[in-house]
Structure 1
């Protein structure tokens, strides 16, 4: 089971396709999540009024018979900081940016693999539940306290800026981190200015230094025009 703040994680699925919604609900329940379902914005509003404080994660379809997921997302953000993931058939850049701009934490494009969605949910839960001083991914080890990186027991030399970028990516593993988020976080936390081109070069160098996992997959994925994501298994 997966726990958030000491309680079983509760997920609300807003999806008008009965087959997708019911199948997804059943799979998530088998994995230990508590699930509630809504097939329309009207149904969502009734559930939300009664159970808002108990819901940890919202899975929102974008296009619904009586509204849209973007407006629902804004409503949720006005009242709380729960996790919001869009389930959308729209994989164009404008729709993705709109979803993130209105407060979404992540998005999954239909048709999606359930394993991928579950990984995204878990990544978000871990992100807001806090992390540890040591992160390990196969043969890669990142020590946040000592700001060191090793791969296959070999020390990797990274600059302070590269480590800051790496830290932001790992703390949001599995999630898309927008380019402007890097600028905000690095300015606020470290008091240093990082321009657009510097970020591009820094990520490129990180990719080269880290190499690939044993299965050949890269650690960092570039989301064209939006940002970057630390890929998880």
Structure 2
């Protein structure tokens, strides 16, 4: 289980984030202040840190520095301030990414997954039913032969690979594709892209094993675990 260090002074936000992260299979340790964060760093190995920039007894920039000195892990800033100065300061302090509040839960989970993969703390290559996908290089192969996907087809595949144990509703998938496409995506568009993707990656698109339909709910990835 990947362990996330959450540094957030708003207890309601922290509670909701912990609920979300636990549902995604992460372990979470929460610190509400800079002082608490410093004490929890000692003897607690983490895989990634989510750090609010505004803290009651300091700021997230100082916490980021302390984390980076203690452990070589990715840091994602949570900030209500989207101004360029804060973003640049955070990145210059060694942060790996930032996300501005309010944010979509799925976007945060995707950012966490990307940061873990870049740091080598999560697999970048996946195998399932003869399908092989390397998210670091963007290469997808079926039975050893490269498969060429459009940007939206690849994004759709990534959503499933990043959520191997979840049933994804059509609305959730539409939200993800909307973010990636920057254009209008509706139910008909999703149906078309599911069909196209299955035609490219399934052995038998009429009897899909990789992207399975959960009748009345949505879709899920395969039948078992995705392996490295």
TM-score when normalising by structure 2: 0.56
Distance 1:44 1:26 in 2: 20
Classify 1:35/1:214 alpha carbon distance in 2 versus 1 (closer, same or farther; 3 Å).
closer
**Are 1:38 and 2:31 counterparts?**
yes
Q: 1:196-218, CA deviations, whole angstroms, 9 ceiling, x for partnerless residues?
A: xxxxxxxxxxxxxxxxx987944
For the pair 1:26 / 2:19, whether they are aligned, the reply is yes
1:83 aligns with one of 69, 74, 79 = 74
Q: SS at 2:95's partner residue?
A: coil
Matches of residues 127-166 of structure 1 in structure 2 within 5 Å? 127=118, 128=120, 129=122, 131-132=124-125, 135=133, 142=139, 150-151=148-149
Gap regions ≥5 residues in structure 2: 127-131, 151-175, 183-228
> Partners of 2:23 and 2:58 in 1: how far apart?
30
Q: Aligned equivalents of 2:179 and 2:40: distance in 1? A: 45
In structure 1, C-alpha distance between the alignment counterparts of 2:76 and 2:9, rounded to whole Å? 16
Which runs of 5 or more residues in structure 1 are unaligned?
1-7, 153-212, 220-233
Residue 150 of structure 1 deviates from its aligned partner by 3.7
Question: Displacement of 1:69 after TM fit?
Answer: 0.4
3-state DSSP class of the match of 1:124? helix
- Counterpart for residue 173 of structure 2: none
Write the distance in 1 (CA, Å) between the matches of 2:64 and 2:77: 9
- Give the alignment partner of residue 62 of structure 1, picking from 53, 67, 72: 53
**TM-score, normalising length from structure 1?**
0.55
- Quickly say closer, same or farther: Cα 1:23–1:93, change in 2 above 3 A: same
The residue number in structure 1 matching 2:112 is 121
- 1:85-144 residue CA offsets vs partner (Å, 9 max, x unmatched): 00001111111111111110111100111111111111112222453496479xxx6379
User: CA offsets, 1:64-83, max 9 Å, x none?
Assistant: 01010001111122233201
The residue number in structure 2 matching 1:195 is: none
Question: Aligned to 1:91, what secondary structure does the other structure show?
Answer: coil
Change (3 A) 1:150 1:19: same
Distance 2:77 2:43 in 1: 22
Give the length in aligned residue pairs: 147
Q: Identify which of 6, 9, 14 aligns with 1:13.
A: 6
Name the SS for the 1:13 alignment partner: strand
